[in-house]
Each structure stands twice: as C-alpha cells, then as structure tokens.
Amino acid sequence: MSFPLSRRTVLSVGLGTLATAAMPLAARASTISFNSGWEHLKFRSLEPNTFNTAGNALTVVAEGTSSILYRILPSDLFDSRRAEWTWRVDSSVPPSDLNDTDNDDRNLGVFFVNASDDVAARIRPGTGISSLMRNRNVQVLMYTWGGNNPQGTVIPSPQAPGRLRNVVQRRPATGQFRESVDLARDFQRVFGVELRNLVALAVSSNSENSGSRVQAQVSEWVLG
C-alpha cells in the first residue's frame, strides 16, 4: 500500500535517548504477533524497506530505503503500560545525526503511540498511523537504535516537537539486546503527559541518506 506522503510530513524525526531500568512485566502480559494486522506505510519519493513477518518475529532489510510497518492495537491493550522486545542488527548504518532529517539513518525504531481518550474512542481497525501522528492529541515515543548521541539525551523532533520524540537506546552497531521499558514513566519524562491509551505500535528503519544496508529483526514483543 502506497501513501502520497513524504517521510518528513509523517515522521519528522528528532533525537533523544532515555535509559529505562529493566523490570518484569505484570502477570497480564500479551505477546504481539506479527500477523496480518500489520500495515506498511510507504513514503513518497523513497523506496520502501522489505519487511517479512513470521509468528513473533519481524525481519527488515533497508538498503537506501525507508518505511514503517505499523499495527493499530485492539482496545483491550490500550491500558498497557510496559513493554519488552528483543532486537538484533546484523548489518548496521554508520553513525548519524538524528536531529538532521538529511542525515538521520538508523537501524531500527520501535514506536509506541499514545492518544487522548477522545481520539482513542474514534479509532477503528482501518485507522492509519499517519493521521494519528499528525494529531495534536497524540504523542509518539520512538525507541531508536542509531544516531551518535549519549544514552539518556532527549531531543524533540525539529518538525513536530510536541508530538514526536526519540528515545535512543543503542548507538549504531551490530548486536542483539533484550529491552524492557516503563512506558508510563517514559511518556511522563519525555512529554510531560500521562500515558492514557496505547493505541498503536510501529517499527521503522531507514538508510536512504547513507545508502547503507540494514539487516535487522524485532521479536518477542510483549506488552503488559
């Protein structure tokens, strides 16, 4: 599915990092399946990534490309407040400046979308993430593997500082890590808002600036 949108229009990526302590999920944990519920958001004038889904794992190849795979969550997961996932990078982009949209390549971005009660009440299975990301009552927290900044730095997106902010977990390199994040705490610290409704998830990769090849995977994604 193609969309007549530029990446700057939909996702104006800034830069930020925030370290979150690993904590176990509550007993009511839900494993996210990479099934047919995921949609591919492509950008005008950019070739899309190659995403492959299988069970609880998503693989992505970006080779001078950029796009997002996203899923609108069912309402019974809107009250999720923590997340864990494993991500692996086998081929990495070089260091970049995530505050510069002309030099913002990254291996992976894992997105969590928070919406106000009125916005969440209007969400349907066919709702697109691009409309959510432009809504003033929505915040998008992006845990990023890329850039070249110290962990713990938070820098709002230069294009939409009130809505889009990165939390850079890893500098660009190959490797594999298990992440555990407190979404409620991070939304409060990064945006100064309460996590009301976790309405969507997404995964991105982009290497259109350097032309590098990214080969990566996200798996065992759990909400609780």
Residue from 122, 110, 165, 128 nearest 38 by CA: 128
CATH of 7-223 given 1.20.950, 2.60.120, 3.30.200, 2.60.40? 2.60.120
Q: Contact 164/126 with Cβ under 8 angstroms?
A: no
Q: Contact 223/30 with Cβ under 8 angstroms?
A: yes
Per-residue pLDDT tens digits for 158-212:
678 889 998 889 999 999 999 999 999 999 999 999 999 999 999 999 999 999 9
Per-residue pLDDT tens digits for 4-58:
345 554 544 333 333 334 445 655 799 999 988 999 999 999 999 999 999 999 9
CA dist 132 and 130 (Å) reads: 5
Residue spans per domain, the chain: 7-223
Q: Contact 110/143 with Cβ under 8 angstroms?
A: yes
